[in-house]
Structure 1
Amino acid sequence: MVNAATERARAIAGAVPDPEMPMLTLADLGVLRDVEVDDNGAVTAVLTPTYSGCPAIAEMRGEVDRRLREAGYGEVTIRTRLDPAWTTDWITPEGRAALAEHGIAPPRPVARGAASGPVPLVLSPTRPALCCPRCGSTDTEQTSAFAATACKALWRCRACLEPFEYVKEI
């Protein structure tokens, strides 16, 4: 059973905005994996970065630590968990809606086979048909495989001619 101190700590840590996409909280992004408060009031928060080399993880760790300490938790430990690896499927429905509201096409669900085992290797380029987050048209095209961050690509809508970013499925 989760106690009130753990619920409060989880809410504080979960409200930290992602440094690269600040319209998302760490909870919305699915990066905040666990928060526990022990009997002595020490907090342990667990983060799973979007990929193992994500440069934003240091900022996330620091901000979670700072906010928890400001909230009165004296002993704070932030752990990084790489297994299981983060997936875009962990982005909440609220997070997906926030991305779209800010003109970023959210990722689609990732087709997964069995819970464990090899990941299918696709050797040919894949070009999903995306909906423009501004006008809803599916007449879109990729203009660059990379955007401001490695986890996003640049796209353009042929209908409204607006460029937009797309969070790649992982």
Structure 2
Amino acid sequence: MAKNTTNAAVLDHVEIEQLADLMRTAGYRVTPAEQNGVVQLMSASQGVGFVVRFGNAGATQGTYIDYTLSCALQVQGDLPAELVPSWNRTKRFARLAAHGQFLVLEMDVVVAGGVTERHLASMVELWDRLVQEFLLHLRNRPSMMAAEEALKKNPNVLTSEAALNAGDDAVTATIQ
């Protein structure tokens, strides 16, 4: 294991205002908001709003050992059936789920066990990157829908992603 050569403090919990300050330092506008008696942080990345929900309480009051960054987008119209599974199959760190008319992207951050403030800042950077990739993933929606329509018309034809996932069994498959 590498030795910690910096004198960075190791945190085993995070406070709401501490995380809000860290996000502000990274350039985010952050607004604490109370919902059902629970404080959460509201912010935005790439013009898309997201919320930070705190999870398990730490050893002292007002501290937490984990939190979730969450972005919910309302869907208008039909989504390709492959949109959520393809994200979850090809991306790491954040999961995508469909809940009725909402698509929800979430990333958990665990502080328990000890992390540095730099680690928490890197999680904010990672979240920003994932939101960018999420928006690109949504922009690819028309090509996904076209591939699904082609597959419905000719079930013997695999899309390139399906062919890659099928492995050696796809030798006779046509790739579009």
* Common fold: TM-score over 0.5: no
Radius of gyration: which is bigger?
2
TM-score bucket of the superposed structures, by smaller chain:
under 0.3
* TM-score, with structure 1 as normaliser: 0.23
More strand by share: 2
